[in-house]
Amino acid sequence: MLNSPANPTGVVLTDAELQDLADLCTDRGVILVSDEIYDLFTYSDGRGEKGPSPSPARFTENMLLIRGFGKTYGATGWRMGYAAGPDWLIAEMAKFQQYSFVCAPSMAQAAMVGAFDVDMSAEVDRFERRRDMVRAAFDGVAQISDCRGAFYVFVELPEHLGMTATEFCDLAIEHDVVVIPGGVFSSRDTHIRISYACPEDKLKAGLDVLRNMMLN
């Protein structure tokens, strides 16, 4: 299973990495499941033009591609998405869907059809500016992930703090800032995940708190 752009790191795999992964799955005879829920949210980094995230679907048909409307169009509660893959797999998924929940609500289906005509470039640009704010806040203070997509960043806590990420998150709450400890996502409790899906003024205030906590 692949998630790129990724939660919790914001990492976006390159075409070459996706080609290698697709080839590996083909060689091993396994289906690659590509969760691309954040596909529209990719940002420039000096290594190429900004655009939709690379997908392994460019290199293989032996995969299941999953995308949705919730993150891209701010409609997470609507739970609308779609999948594409080999005929035999989609047929089995449709069988399960038909006898479990039948279909998504009709008004949600109608609403999401209109989403294809919405230009989200201004929103993506806004999130890129927020990403840049996060990068600037931790410059020279802490190591962060190569956050080129989604709206998350993984920050490694400086060793001099002498605390786990869980302890740091508990302390941050006392300053009215909520971040997620990395131990939720892995066995290492050394990083925190920051979401920058919030207004710029709140993001700046929160970043100032976190930066000061790491410096002191």
Domains of the chain: 12-115 (3.40.640.10), 121-215 (3.90.1150.10)
- All residues at 6 or more sequence positions from 28 whose CB lies less than 8 Å from its CB, including other chains: none
Burial level of 51, CB count in 10 A (0-12/13-18/19+)?
exposed
What was the pLDDT predicted at 131? 96
Tell me: pLDDT of 201 over 60: yes
Mean pLDDT, rounded, of the chain = 93
The Cα 22–Cα 55 span in angstroms is 10
- With H, G, I as helix, E, B as strand and everything else as coil, classify residue 166: helix
pLDDT of residue 51: 65
Mean pLDDT, to the nearest integer, of 151-167?
97
Closest Cα partner for 184 from 197, 206, 169, 203?
A: 169
Q: In the structure, what pLDDT confidence band is assigned to residue 104 with cuts at 50, 70 and 90?
A: confident
Cα end-to-end distance, the chain, whole Å: 39
Q: Which two tokens stand for residue 35?
A: 């969760």
Q: How many CB atoms lie within 10 A of CB 215?
A: 12
Among 7-21, 26-40, 51-65, 188-202, name the one with the lowest average pLDDT: 51-65
pLDDT at 46 over 70: no
Q: Is residue 101's pLDDT more than 90?
A: no
Provide the percentage of residues in the chain whose pLDDT is more than 90. Answer: 81
- Whether the CB-CB separation of 2 and 32 falls below 8 Å is answered with yes
